[in-house]
Amino acid sequence: MSLALFIEQLLNGVQFGLMLFLMAAGLTLVFGVMGLINLAHGSLYMIGAFICAGVAAATGNFWIGLAAGVAAAAAAGAIIEMTVIRRLYDRDHLDQVLATFALILILSEGTSMLFGPFPLYLSRPDSLAGTVHLGFGFNYSLYRLALIGFGIAVAVGMWLLITRTQLGVRIRAGESDREMIAALGVNIKALYTVVFALGAALAGLAGALVGSIQSVQVGMGEPVLILAFVVIVIGGIGSIKGALVGALLVGVIDTMGRFLLPRLFDLLFDAGRATDIGAAIASMLIYMLMALVLILRPKGLFPAHG
Amino acid sequence: MDESRKEFWLNAVLLVGLFATPVIAMMIDEPFYVTLATRVAIFALAAVGLNLALGLGGMVSFGHALYFGLGGYVAGIMAHHAFSGMPMVFGLSGSDQMLAIWPVAMLLSGLVALVVGVLSLRTSGIFFIMITLAFAQMAYYFAIGWPTYGGEDGLPILVRNQFPGLNTLQTWHMFLLAYGALVIALAVFAMLRNARFGAALMAIRQNPERVAAVGISPFGIKLAAFVISGMITGLAGAMMADLNRFVSPSMLSWHVSGELIVICILGGVGRLFGPLAGAAIFVGFEVIFGGLTQHWQFWLGLVLLAVVLFARGGVIGIIAGRERHG
């Protein structure tokens, strides 16, 4: 195992973690402000990817596609919030899980009706093709490096939004006391729609960006959704900082586990299938991490409300 | 007619209807509907298990696929070893007898539910939902990665396991087994609900502090309910594997966990016969709309959304009215 390969896997882990952060940030905001469990968040990721792929194919320009994907996800988020989600804020978690599970069925099947059952292909933009030299004879994919840049930019942007803007003040106020800010004259309905659309836009951005590394297909949002939930549970639900730390932990541990564990098992045991078993355990690692965190700190690493 | 009488008659119609479906199907020579009724009975059985935790105990387990799949793998693995003659762990041999498989499936599911329950019941709300999901996902990915029993491809059961006095290769006999198990599980559910255990469990759902104040430990009661719940769902999994003569990681997927919750809710959560009504609707929907369009889940989603938003008592609730307490 060469050092270059190790560093490449580590960067892949960071890149994966930052994309998970884009998903988890919206999920944790929606839970923190509105108290809602949104299983359909993965569908917004899928919508972002599909619209990006469709528009990029039609216009021949990835960036127009990306903008369209983000806008479409935000619009879909706003529409879903105003028609369905709004009715769920006062309901218990069971109703929220069920209604948003129903939304997954509707949005997945709806997408497959519109776009057909076959995966779409979204190629990365020409300007980001190829690799970049990082010193010590080590090359890394320029596109993945750009994803890391996107992730960091969004993280910084979120921090500025939450701490420095009027909207951020309202979001923080909404997290600590919903009734009070409504009583103070903030249009809480509009605030909820904006927060939901913001989360949806981030999910759509993640879907469009990741769509060009993987294939764009119905159901692509579900594995990511579950990982994003793992992230926010580890980080502490409602905390953006927790989402960032949790996402990086999950991204790096998952990627490095899949990379290192099969090799480790191969060294330790000489049974013929040690590598396979190592791989099987590696895919369980992050769920073990989540169970461990919940057992030791039942409210996650960075509990949002005391 | 008062509402509890309506519910009684509705339950009777469901129970008789489920039995009559395969009988009529055989008379008009449509064996497909016998299999269908068996599927309904097995899904209902799995959902009766979940209903104990979800409906009576208010524990929103989003990981009951774990027990369903575990039961399925017990049936698959024991049959696999019985067929190959190779011993399983600790030199135990496999078996193709349902009477040997079912207790093992229930025991293992119960043990796993005990571990999951002890760890998960420390949390509540969304954390409980997510940690139960996490345990099921662990098993799902382990089953995909573990190559000995087929990994991602799953494990076929070459010859359906045996039950003394019945020919399980005939679907009608398989139906009788599933129906019998369902009736017993419903009786157990009714018994538990009417016992002091059930009263304590329902009281804990409404107000755990008060229950603790009168000297009952909420944790012990909830854990017991969770374990029994896992055992019943595990038994259903073993039967489903035998019906399909196939077990695969998809039995452990989070979609199954979601579908079991959907079945409970469609029928009416916490109702004795809610799972049966829900399973009948779910399987019926799959057959009727699945025959018309490959996008039947789109319509299922719309119906489910409507039920959650506008008809919270489920189908039994619509017909028999809301429960006055609970």
- DSSP type of residue B253: S
Of A32-41, A265-274, B109-118, where does the model show the most confidence?
Answer: B109-118
Q: Given an 8 Å threshold on Cβ–Cβ distance, is B142 in contact with A277?
A: no
CA distances (Å), origin B289, targets A210, B53, B135, B294: 34, 30, 33, 8
| Average of per-residue pLDDT across B93-112 | 92
Q: B308 at the A interface (CB within 8 A)?
A: yes
Q: Which two tokens stand for residue A254?
A: 């998952």
With 50 as the cut, is the pLDDT of residue B324 above it?
Answer: no
Q: A274 at the B interface (CB within 8 A)?
A: no
Q: Given an 8 Å threshold on Cβ–Cβ distance, is A294 in contact with B127?
A: yes
- DSSP type of residue B125: T
Contacts of B144 in chain A (CB under 8 A): 280, 283
Sequence spans of domains, chain B: 3-320
Mention every residue, 6+ apart, whose C-beta is less than 8 A from residue B6: B319, B320, B321
**Smallest CA–CA distance from A258 into chain B, residue:** B145
- Rounded distance between C-alpha atoms, residue A195 and residue A74, angstroms: 10
Mention every residue, 6+ apart, whose C-beta is less than 8 A from residue A54: A65, A115, A120
Q: Which two tokens stand for residue A280?
A: 């099987």
Q: Given an 8 Å threshold on Cβ–Cβ distance, is B130 in contact with A98?
A: no
Q: Which residue has the tokens 């959907």?
A: B262
C-alpha angle with apex A256: A254 to A258, nearest 5 degrees? 70
Q: Given an 8 Å threshold on Cβ–Cβ distance, is B137 in contact with A291?
A: no
More reliable by pLDDT, B167 or B251: B251
Confidence tier at B325 by pLDDT (50, 70, 90) = very low
Given the DSSP bridges, would you call strands A131-133 and B155-156 parallel, antiparallel or unpaired?
Answer: unpaired
| A144-153, A235-244, B307-316: segment of lowest average pLDDT | B307-316
Q: Hey, which bits of B71-166 come out as E strands?
A: 155-156
Q: What is the pLDDT of residues A196-236, one digit of tens each?
A: 999 999 999 999 999 888 889 888 888 888 899 899 989 98
Q: Given an 8 Å threshold on Cβ–Cβ distance, is B129 in contact with A283?
A: no
Min Cα separation A242/chain B (Å): 15
CA distances (Å), origin A188, targets A167, A171, A173, A194: 12, 10, 11, 10
Q: Given an 8 Å threshold on Cβ–Cβ distance, is A98 in contact with B262?
A: yes
With 70 as the cut, is the pLDDT of residue A5 above it?
Answer: yes
Q: Which two tokens stand for residue B198?
A: 């059930």
Contacts of A230 in chain B (CB under 8 A): 130, 134
Query: What angle, 0 to 180 degrees and rounded to 10, lies between the N-to-C axes of helices A274-296 and B98-120?
Result: 40
Contacts of B145 in chain A (CB under 8 A): 276-277, 279-284
Of A160-174, A176-190, A244-258, where does the model show the most confidence?
Answer: A244-258
Q: Given an 8 Å threshold on Cβ–Cβ distance, is A103 in contact with B134?
A: no
Q: A273 at the B interface (CB within 8 A)?
A: yes
Q: Which two tokens stand for residue B220?
A: 């012990």
Phi, psi of A140 (to 5 degrees): -140, 145
**Smallest CA–CA distance from A97 into chain B, residue:** B258
- Cα A97 to the center of its chain, rounded Å: 18
Q: B305 at the A interface (CB within 8 A)?
A: yes
- Rounded distance between C-alpha atoms, residue B15 and residue B311, angstroms: 23
Q: What is the pLDDT of residues A293-303, one digit of tens each?
A: 888 888 888 88
- Rounded distance between C-alpha atoms, residue A224 and residue B322, angstroms: 38
CATH fold for domain A14-121+141-296:
ABC transporter involved in vitamin B12 uptake, BtuC (1.10.3470)
Question: 3-class secondary structure for chain A?
Answer: CCHHHHHHHHHHHHHHHHHHHHHHHHHHHHHHHHCCCCCCHHHHHHHHHHHHHHHHHHHCCHHHHHHHHHHHHHHHHHHHHHHCHHHHCCCCHHHHHHHHHHHHHHHHHHHHHHHCCCCECCCCCHHHCCEEECCCCCEEEHHHHHHHHHHHHHHHHHHHHHHHCHHHHHHHHHHHCHHHHHHCCCCHHHHHHHHHHHHHHHHHHHHHHHHCCCCECCCCHHHHHHHHHHHHHHHCCCCHHHHHHHHHHHHHHHHHHHHHHHHHHHHHCCCCCHHHHHHHHHHHHHHHHHHHHHHHCCCCCCCCCC
Residue B322's pLDDT is: 60
B156 bridge partner residues: B246
- Rounded distance between C-alpha atoms, residue B210 and residue B208, angstroms: 6
Mark which residues 130-169 of A lie under 8 Å from B by CB. none
Mark which residues 236-275 of B lie under 8 Å from A by CB. 254, 258, 261-262, 265, 269
CA distances (Å), origin A11, targets A52, A242, A251, B287: 25, 20, 10, 48
Q: Kindly report the CATH class assigned to B3-320.
A: mainly alpha
Q: B326 at the A interface (CB within 8 A)?
A: no
DSSP helix/strand/coil, B166: strand
Cβ contact B24:B173 at 8 Å: no
Q: Given an 8 Å threshold on Cβ–Cβ distance, is B138 in contact with A276?
A: no
- Cβ atoms within 10 A of the Cβ of B45, count? 27
Sequence spans of domains, chain A: 14-121+141-296
Residue A305's pLDDT is: 58
Q: Which among A106, A279, A290 has the least Cβ separation from residue B298?
A: A106
Mention every residue, 6+ apart, whose C-beta is less than 8 A from residue A70: A48, A201, A204, A205, A208
With 80 as the cut, is the pLDDT of residue A271 above it?
Answer: no
Contacts of B54 in chain A (CB under 8 A): 94
In one-letter notation, the amino acid at residue A296 is: L
Contacts of B130 in chain A (CB under 8 A): 229-230, 233, 290, 294
Q: What is the pLDDT of residues A26-41, one digit of tens each?
A: 998 898 888 888 999 9
Q: Which residue has the tokens 């009416």?
A: B268
Residue B159's pLDDT is: 86
- Cα A41 to the center of its chain, rounded Å: 9
